[in-house]
Amino acid sequence: MRVGRVITVGFVPRSGRAFALVELLVVVVILAVLSAIAFPVIVKTKQSAQTTECLSNMRQLGLAFRMYLDDYEEKFPAAVPWGIPGSPANHGAKTIQELLVPFVRSASVPVRLADGSVTYPTRSVFCCPSDVGLPESCDGFCGGVKASIPVWRQTGCSYEYYAANQRNYLEAAGTDPPQVPRTALAPEVEINGRRTRIGAPLSAVVSSTKKALLGDIWFWHLGDRVMPENRVAYCNTLFADGHAARVRGSEHMEARLEQLKRWHSYTELD
């Protein structure tokens, strides 16, 4: 009886250990498969939430534009398209975030660092939550904005104001820019030998539901670009009537190239 007990006691644990190891491996495999399935869904859900927050920011900025127009004789802000406030590249003009700050609930306050540069420590309505910075190929572009650092941290804003005449986009669309200059909401012109920006009157907008005011500076949102053709697939866009929408790339291009009525007789410099 004593020998039988020893054999029985020794047999059961070995069987139990073998079964537990197989079971553990099966669980690990199942978890790995579930993770592989769930991870893209989680990423897409996060991106969708960020896209929604970005559109909410744009709608709030749409209200700020409306209040600005009410206070400044129905004229759009005479601001640069985008960049670092106070940069020499701005030729003395303000950025859109500087001009709209009085009309938003809160804005990030810039902090000056030891090296003399400025950073914006917290996000505000001017900041896209998907802003991860410009790609390395754009390092130093537009007044020294550095790549791979969120643009809003350096400038206080993630969005481009369609102030300029969209010359590059007109060329890409196969249109001769000098013949179609009236796409800018705040073109840079020369008056009495001095470079200055002038804000377009709201009355110059042919269709406020079709004219784009601003959009993301870069293609941060999921699905913004179609690869490898590198075409814009979708883009968050704020329109002159105050509504914001995620539209197809072709619609966005048409909206930013939407012509204004002839409202000035100067030569546009940008």
Q: pLDDT digit string (tens) for 17-35? A: 555 777 777 777 777 776 6
pLDDT tens by residue, 93-114: 999 999 999 999 888 888 988 8
- Render pLDDT for 135-154 as a digit per residue (tens, 0 to 9): 888 887 667 899 999 999 99
**Mean residue pLDDT across the chain:** 84
Tell me the pLDDT tens digit for each residue of 246-270.
999 889 989 999 999 999 999 888 7
Positive or negative, the CA dihedral 52, 55, 61, 65 is negative
Pair 55, 244: CB distance under 8 Å = yes
pTM attached to this predicted model: 0.80
Q: Is the separation of the CB atoms in 98 and 87 below 8 Å? A: no
For residues 128-136, average pLDDT: 92
Question: Of 137, 135, 168, which Cα lies nearest the Cα of 151?
Answer: 135
